[in-house]
Structure 1
Amino acid sequence: MDDFPFMTVAMAVPLVGAALAGLTPRSQGELARRVALIASLVTLGVVIVAAFQFEPNGSRFQMVENHDWIPEFGVSYALGVDGIGFTMVLLTAALMPILLLASWRDLDEGEHAQTGPGGGTPQLYVSMMLVLEAMAIGQFAALDVFLFYVLFEAMLIPMYILIGRFGGPQRQYAAVKFLLYNLLGGLLMLVAVVWINFAGPGGEKAYYLPNLIGYDFGTETARWMFLGFFVAFAIKAPLWPFHTWLPDAMAEATPSNGVLLSGILDKVGVFAMLHLCLPLFPEAARWFAPTIVVLALISILYGAVVAIGQVDLKRLIAYASVSHFGFIVLGIFVMTSQGQTGATLYMVNHGFATAGLLLVAGFLMSRRGSRLISSYGGVQKVAPVLAGTFLFAGLANLSLPGLAPFVSEFMVLLGTFTRYPIAGYFAVLGVLLAALYVLIAYQRTMAGELTEGNEETPDLKTRELVVVTPVIVVILALGFFPKPLLDVIDPAVDRKLAQVERVDPAPEHPAGTPASVAQTAAGSAEESK
């Protein structure tokens, strides 16, 4: 199966599913949902089969497809994955069935209910989710820079529709703000992409990533091109001060679409920093690294502090994500093996941890119809399972030892301390602030006296339990045994560091490989239990 086009199939299945779901009769919303769920499960199956074909220590890019697309401009349809890209493809495919199942009743109840002839249909809703999945997989696998740019921009369309058509009361404002911010980033990226055609090696494969890696664009040119790419990715991530679109978008989106934003779409930004910025412009990446580390620290602390003061539960989770993305960017640009491996693992762990917290919060809000934290209180007395899963997801987001985010955050901090010790101390403060906003949110919503209006709050239903169970299982599994993923990530990270000509600083007490560090962290967590 070496020549089987796994990545193309993984993109095509959700697109076919989107078309079939969209063609179902308007009165058959339930059928459209089932078609979408089946398509997402088939996509997951394709990616799982591909996982058995992937060799972590094999060729740099695997499952490569390379076909002429617009040869006059040097553009090709080229797909392939390294360990980092394949990890992100797996995250996308694993989350989508969970999100489709979680959103089964999004349009039937609460602030997102669609009524009347102008209301959105389930067909459009699930179709756009599948289209977004296909485009995300394409970006994580794109080996042609121009193809990546096309998908980078096209991905905005389904997300804009999902927010603007199916969001809350301020959905139009949030959707337009989301679109304008990301279009601005895309414009800057387009300038840099066009510049490659003039400053690069040219030829029929002018944008083919393996041909560009190692090419000397010139110091000044490379720095300007790096800046164009990086700002676009920082907006997408989002990194402070480009973050302001995310709280509005997540607050108005349905909980499932909020996970799509933070768990998948935003990951494209941080992934692209590793996939494009570092290998294409290694000298520029080293030159800008100290400044980016400072921006990442501001994101960590700013996001956490603002999250503490939120009265809207969704906005609290959004600002928490800003803080978490600061950790990811920090891990990337400290340019150590522990930092970059931890950052990549953090992308996966954050996807599941945020999915757990936002989906459970969505189940809670659908019962009361309010996003305000003050509307709740004492919920654990009438819905203990709901409260318990909310607490578990919250503890995962504050990186409790034994849960998946702890391993990745520990590695990012370790990698930071080995090169930028002072930055490490500031980053640790972000960990302490995370404990505050999570525990305060739990105390105000679930603990204490039962607030009036919550007396009849039902506990989690069967469908909701089916949604949260795999999320909990993955968080526990990666918390105690992250080695399978780390074995895939480590070789790719080693290649990235070699490209930017960085080696780990020699510690006073050698910490070992990233995999051994993570296993030590997981083992320590197990002993502490």
Structure 2
Amino acid sequence: MVTLAAPALGAAGAALVPARADRLGRLVATVAAALAFLASLALFHRTIPPMPTVPRSRIVPWHQVDLRWAPGLDLRFHIGVDGISYPLVVLTALLTLICCIYTLWAVPAVEVVSPGAQPRSTPPPYIAGRLLAALLLVIEVGILGVFLALDLVLFFVFFEIVLLPMYAVIAGWGGPGRRHAARKFVLYTLAGSVLLLVGVFLVVTRAGTADLVKLSAAHGAGLSSGLQLAAFVLLALAFAVKSPLWPLHTWLPDAHTEAPTVGSVILAGVLLKMGTYGLLRIAVGVLPDGARRVAPVLGVLAVAAILVGGLVCLAQTELKRLIAYSSVGHMGFVLLGIATLNATGIQAALIGNIAHGIITGLLFFLVGAIKDRAHTGEMTQLGGLRERMPRLAGLLGYAAIASLGLPGLAGFWGEAFAVVAALRHGGPLWTVLAVLAAFGGALAAAYFLRLLRRVSHGPVGPAFAGACAPLSAGEVVSWAPLVVLALAVGLVPGVVLWLAHGPVMELVAR
């Protein structure tokens, strides 16, 4: 409960701080985020028996809270954590803490438009920083709730909590096209929410319960094959919007491009994982027959996302849009792993989720730092970063090669073993999908090397003609954990995979 209560109370406290004490409000939010992170680490102390003695017929939470919520509807406030959700809970708490720390040094300006006046930035630009930090904590509550929920209706409620605060972050602190991007984000997400609600309604009314522990133990029993197929399609479409899966991805580049740096980090780092986690935990876990029947279609769409994302990245000239489209390709590997429905693929999806959150979060921080100094994201204007800011150029190169999947860094495992899982699945279709996915990995190498050549090397571009501010203490403190984790997860992937081994084997055994 502390993991959810700390950011909720911190958001209220930060928002209630007077405007004249804005930095105090951001500090309150940072302390609350730190408490939530410490509480998430404490969840590692498991209270379940050793793996061989754990019943393999249901979700076995390490810790859980099960309270009466709406007795008349047989709904309970049931939350818990296990090996599948725990890494995502810690990642969410860590990235939120990092973003709150970042706001102590850097808050984007808020444009104010008065009747008959031109848009202007508020002087000083930090007066609404406490509100930004408060919104980040509200988003954290929603995302953590999704990963912790063990009740389908509660899952839906937490899924929806994220919508309005993320809209406010993009629309309030984003770039020139922020309102259009925020509206597009809301419309796509609302469409997915309607499908999710209908899918949840179908499952709950037919199964007679919303408890995910009971539903997972039933293995689809009591749900007809036709209903499983219909419900799985509805849920898969809803989660595909959030992931996002091609061709439902078009909201993502606009949202990333216009969102402030911390908004992009949260959006790419953990918000997208709500879709892949929901697909695995609910759609596959509760509706196994529907998953088997739709898996080939998911595999084809996942590979299409990998290829389309890679090819579009090769055509991009703006940094944030390139990183945004790269997320479409990377999440395609995660979805391919889930679609294989074998242990290797699901493990690849789990570590791919974590690696993408770490690396892409770092990339958006670095791109934000470049744009803050150069006042542009156009790569044609950004040559010579290595000459002007060698440390920033070095970090950008490190994050880029981690994202393209260099062995020894976090990005390698998820993508490589998603391809292996497709090959192990067998059959002509999955072999072709594996080959095409591997080609998509090569495209990632091509567009990241192109990015480094244009931004880090060559003559100094017009954007860096003037003086460049050195890296600040806030930037170094914020980025350091992600730099370390990208290497640690790459060298020791077992820190993520061994936690999920039991639940994954149980899921595959169904």
Residue in structure 2 matched with residue 492 of structure 1 by the alignment: 503
C-alpha contact (below 8 Å) 1:61/1:80 kept by paired residues? yes
Residue in structure 2 matched with residue 179 of structure 1 by the alignment: 186
In 1, the alpha carbon distance for the partners of 2:35 and 2:439 equals: 43
In 2, the alpha carbon distance for the partners of 1:277 and 1:474 equals: 30
Query: Residue 27 of structure 1: SS of its match in structure 2?
Result: helix
Residue in structure 1 matched with residue 405 of structure 2 by the alignment: 399
Matches within 5 A, 1:370-519: 370-419=376-425, 420-455=430-465, 456-499=467-510
Which one of the candidate residues 24, 34, 46 is aligned to 1:53?
Answer: 46
Q: Aligned letter for 1:64? A: Q
Q: Aligned letter for 2:102? A: A
In 1, the alpha carbon distance for the partners of 2:16 and 2:334 equals: 40
1:381-427 Cα shifts (integer Å, max 9, x gaps) = 01000000001011111011111111222222211111122211000
Asked if 1:41 is matched to 2:34, the reply is: yes
Percent of residue pairs bearing the same amino acid type: 34
In 2, the alpha carbon distance for the partners of 1:403 and 1:329 equals: 20
C-alpha contact (below 8 Å) 1:120/1:165 kept by paired residues? no
In 2, the alpha carbon distance for the partners of 1:436 and 1:218 equals: 47
Matches within 5 A, 1:154-165: 154-165=161-172
Which one of the candidate residues 151, 172, 183 is aligned to 2:158?
Answer: 151
In 2, the alpha carbon distance for the partners of 1:192 and 1:108 equals: 39
Asked if 1:307 is matched to 2:318, the reply is: no
Q: 1:129 to 1:268 in 2, by over 3 A?
A: same
In 2, the alpha carbon distance for the partners of 1:148 and 1:218 equals: 23
Matches within 5 A, 1:240-251: 240-251=246-257
Stretch of structure 1 that moved more, 456-465 or 430-439: 456-465
In 1, the alpha carbon distance for the partners of 2:239 and 2:232 equals: 11
Q: Aligned letter for 2:506? A: R
Stretch of structure 1 that moved more, 17-26 or 113-122: 113-122
Asked if 1:318 is matched to 2:324, the reply is: yes
C-alpha contact (below 8 Å) 1:382/1:459 kept by paired residues? no
User: CA offset at residue 118 of structure 1?
Assistant: 11
C-alpha contact (below 8 Å) 2:196/2:234 kept by paired residues? yes
- Which 5+ residue runs of structure 1 have no aligned equivalent? 1-7, 500-529
In 2, the alpha carbon distance for the partners of 1:192 and 1:450 equals: 54
C-alpha contact (below 8 Å) 2:139/2:161 kept by paired residues? no
In 2, the alpha carbon distance for the partners of 1:297 and 1:118 equals: 43
User: CA offset at residue 489 of structure 1?
Assistant: 1.5
Residue in structure 2 matched with residue 128 of structure 1 by the alignment: 135
In 2, the alpha carbon distance for the partners of 1:320 and 1:445 equals: 17
User: CA offset at residue 106 of structure 1?
Assistant: 4.1
C-alpha contact (below 8 Å) 2:110/2:121 kept by paired residues? no
Q: 1:327 to 1:120 in 2, by over 3 A?
A: farther
In 2, the alpha carbon distance for the partners of 1:338 and 1:88 equals: 19
Q: Aligned letter for 2:65? A: E
In 2, the alpha carbon distance for the partners of 1:9 and 1:212 equals: 26
In 2, the alpha carbon distance for the partners of 1:251 and 1:326 equals: 20
In 1, the alpha carbon distance for the partners of 2:193 and 2:109 equals: 35
In 2, the alpha carbon distance for the partners of 1:240 and 1:104 equals: 36
Q: How many residues align?
A: 488
Matches within 5 A, 1:342-357: 342-357=348-363
In 1, the alpha carbon distance for the partners of 2:203 and 2:367 equals: 45
Matches within 5 A, 1:291-306: 291-306=297-312
TM-score scaled by structure 2? 0.92
Q: Aligned letter for 2:159? A: F
Query: Residue 28 of structure 1: SS of its match in structure 2?
Result: helix
C-alpha contact (below 8 Å) 1:233/1:270 kept by paired residues? yes
Residue in structure 1 matched with residue 12 of structure 2 by the alignment: 19
Query: Residue 272 of structure 2: SS of its match in structure 1?
Result: helix
- Dislocated runs of 4+, deviation >4 Å: 108-114, 116-120
User: CA offset at residue 261 of structure 1?
Assistant: 0.8
Stretch of structure 1 that moved more, 249-258 or 444-453: 444-453
C-alpha contact (below 8 Å) 2:19/2:128 kept by paired residues? yes
Stretch of structure 1 that moved more, 452-461 or 146-155: 452-461
C-alpha contact (below 8 Å) 1:68/1:76 kept by paired residues? yes
Stretch of structure 1 that moved more, 476-485 or 229-238: 476-485
Query: Residue 462 of structure 2: SS of its match in structure 1?
Result: coil
TM-score scaled by structure 1? 0.89
In 1, the alpha carbon distance for the partners of 2:377 and 2:104 equals: 19
1:266-301 Cα shifts (integer Å, max 9, x gaps) = 100000111100121100100000011000000000
Asked if 1:189 is matched to 2:196, the reply is: yes
User: CA offset at residue 359 of structure 1?
Assistant: 0.4
C-alpha contact (below 8 Å) 2:383/2:461 kept by paired residues? yes
C-alpha contact (below 8 Å) 1:33/1:126 kept by paired residues? yes
Asked if 1:341 is matched to 2:334, the reply is: no
In 2, the alpha carbon distance for the partners of 1:220 and 1:404 equals: 40
Q: 1:39 to 1:119 in 2, by over 3 A?
A: closer
Q: 1:390 to 1:292 in 2, by over 3 A?
A: same
User: CA offset at residue 62 of structure 1?
Assistant: 2.3
Which one of the candidate residues 342, 354, 365 is aligned to 1:359?
Answer: 365
Residue in structure 1 matched with residue 116 of structure 2 by the alignment: none
Q: Aligned letter for 2:498? A: D
In 2, the alpha carbon distance for the partners of 1:29 and 1:330 equals: 45
In 2, the alpha carbon distance for the partners of 1:118 and 1:437 equals: 35
- Which 5+ residue runs of structure 2 have no aligned equivalent? 113-119
In 2, the alpha carbon distance for the partners of 1:131 and 1:169 equals: 24
Q: Aligned letter for 1:171? A: R
User: CA offset at residue 244 of structure 1?
Assistant: 0.4
C-alpha contact (below 8 Å) 1:37/1:97 kept by paired residues? yes
